[in-house]
Structure 1
Amino acid sequence: MSKELRLEPILISDALEIKDIMIKIVDDESVRWFKNGDKPYVPGYNSIEMQKYHTWDNKYYKIIYENNIVGVVLIYTTGKEHGRIDRFYILPEYQNLGMGSEVLKLVENLFQDISIWTLDTIQQSQRNHHFYEKNGYKLVGQDSEERYYCKKNNNINDKIEKKVESKDFSNSNLRNCDISDVDLYSCNMSNSKFSNMELCKNTYANSNLNNSRFTNDNMSNSVFGDSNMSKVEICHVSLTDAYIHDVNLDVDKENCNITIKRCDLNHSRIIDSNLQNLNIENCNIDGMYINGIDVEEMVEVYKKYKMK
């Protein structure tokens, strides 16, 4: 099968076809593993724009078998040694053919410097659990919804210079230290304090950042991805050219909202977003448009109508 099976980066022009494939896969997973109309949590699976976004670093791959796109695999890498399989889906009619194991081998061959692979999969699918465990992944944690797996290649890991592992630095004071280009993996940094720091171009992935406070920090060109940032406070921050997208407020819970106060949002754009129950108070709306309609003019028309 390996001669017929290959991976190619997904192109923007593939977005529509990939979206249709993902809809078919998620519908099948929903019927197979879920009840009461529930679906697996796959953010943006039915969005063309989300499929385009995942192509940004050429690590979103189409799985091609006999010249047909039969699935996708999305890879995310951070630091010097960590790779994450973020999405791995094969169309139902191509499953149970040994294809999945071949794809994992192709991925590892593409990223030969990665020594730690992680992924998660739903609790409902015992088939997935068996598949990943058969391919060398070890269960490292679980909750009511997900099982978390890790696979380590110690031969690669041993080649890394300046490796520090399983050391206790808690309650330490680090002053005037050069920690640039450091790869932090599976470290407990809760309740740590960062002050007078240069934090630009950092990448934060699969991190729990809730109840964090960022003030007067240079974090330009940083990326926060797949992170829990509930109750985070961001203040006195320059967000020039910031790109905030696919944010989920978890609307099933009470008191879940974003408060934006005393912010300069001049020339900003809000596109393809859910603005239900959005409340704008005491704001300068000069030049503000909604779908091409001048908001100031709209308000004036409303006031004249109400006065009649």
Structure 2
Amino acid sequence: MREVKVVKATLEDASCLTEVMKRSFDEEARKYLSEGKETIDLNIQPPGYTSVERMRYSIEKLHTYKVIVDGLIQGGVILTITGQTFGRVDRIFIAPLLQGQGIGSKVMRFIEEEYRRIHIWELETSSRQKGNLQFYESHGYKRVFEADNECCYEKRVAAEDTSTLNKLYEHFELQDAAVYGSNFSKASITNSNLEQIHYTNCNMRQSEFRNINFRQASFADLNLAHSKFEFVSLGGVHFSSTDLGEEDAPISFNKCDLKQGTIEQCDLSGLKVVDSLVDGMTINGIRVDDLLAAYEERRIK
């Protein structure tokens, strides 16, 4: 009988967990996605599933566990815990050759045992993965939404600490509502429609936004000093009239795709560009690669 342990992951596990996750999801893609066709199913091959950096982020910011089978990392599970009541199974993966042996069931039982205060669990999976649908339903998850390529599940369990349920608000219709002078510190909002909502003159210090759709949103007159943006899609985003705050703390871009962008009328004094692709990049109409070639030629002379 195999020995299975579920242990909190550390940053040293990031590479191994990423490798196992890639093998697992690639095998699912091989089984359920048509070969030779560019079929996209983000539940089968989720964004960043091959990225060690993305896994490091999950380990640091979310609740990430490694599944150890007979002494080796053979799977993992990534959870998002919102407040004291809601939990989300973001990803669960087991090495392909070990699937179907009850390991995933042990992980699911561990999750509920480890987070007994959580009252509502949710997850999403591809409707193509019939085995997944049966697996989650066998563990008490109920289908609450279904689209062409996606099924959303929810499971409600008896919370060990019922005091958290006194402040649980569900399915409230607050369209066109106005809230003034209210204290929402440490509140948690999940699975809610906040479309076209307006936040004005609010203190959102140390707030966290994860897995949020901000398409066509407007951000103005903000203090973002020392904030962090990680794994963000910035296609078509425009930054204008920004500064570095009272502390004049420098900004940094690391592993960012900035091709075809424009930097105009900006203070770039002391800016460092290191180990970056600059093909076609120009400064005031002068190609940077030409400048570098001229510098290298002069340096050799």
TM-score (norm 2): 0.81
Structure 1 distance, partners of 2:190, 2:254, is 35
Change (3 A) 1:124 1:114: same
Contact 2:63 2:78 in 1 (8 A): yes
Higher RCO (Cα < 8 Å, 6 or more apart): 2
Q: Aligned residue for 1:230?
A: 215
- Which shows bigger deviation, 169-178 or 235-244? 169-178
Q: Aligned residue for 2:239?
A: 260
Change (3 A) 1:15 1:112: same
Amino acid at match of 1:197: C
Contact 1:83 1:117 in 2 (8 A): yes
Q: Aligned residue for 1:244?
A: 229
Q: Aligned residue for 1:129?
A: 133
What secondary structure is seen at the aligned counterpart in 2 of 1:289?
coil
1:1-308 paired onto structure 2 within 5 Å: 4-35=3-34, 36-38=37-39, 40-57=44-61, 59-154=63-158, 156=160, 159=163, 160-200=165-205, 221-249=206-234, 256-264=235-243, 267-291=250-274, 302=291
Change (3 A) 1:170 1:273: closer
What secondary structure is seen at the aligned counterpart in 2 of 1:55?
helix
Structure 2 distance, partners of 1:182, 1:143, is 30
Change (3 A) 1:52 1:188: closer
- Which shows bigger deviation, 35-44 or 103-112? 35-44
Contact 2:123 2:153 in 1 (8 A): yes
Amino acid at match of 1:118: E
Contact 1:73 1:87 in 2 (8 A): yes
Change (3 A) 1:223 1:183: closer
Contact 2:143 2:154 in 1 (8 A): yes
What secondary structure is seen at the aligned counterpart in 2 of 1:74?
strand
Contact 1:30 1:37 in 2 (8 A): no
For the aligned residue pairs, the C-alpha RMSD in angstroms reads: 3.0
Q: Aligned residue for 2:299?
A: none
CA deviation digits over 1:122-147, x for unaligned, max 9? 12111111111111001111223321
CA deviation digits over 1:48-71, x for unaligned, max 9? 221211111472100111112111
Unaligned residue ranges in structure 1 (runs of 5+): 201-220, 250-255
* Identical residues among aligned pairs (%): 25
Structure 2 distance, partners of 1:304, 1:31, is 46
The alpha carbon displacement at 1:176 in A equals 3.1
Structure 2 distance, partners of 1:304, 1:106, is 59
- Which shows bigger deviation, 115-124 or 160-169? 160-169
Unaligned residue ranges in structure 2 (runs of 5+): 277-281, 295-301
Contact 2:67 2:74 in 1 (8 A): yes
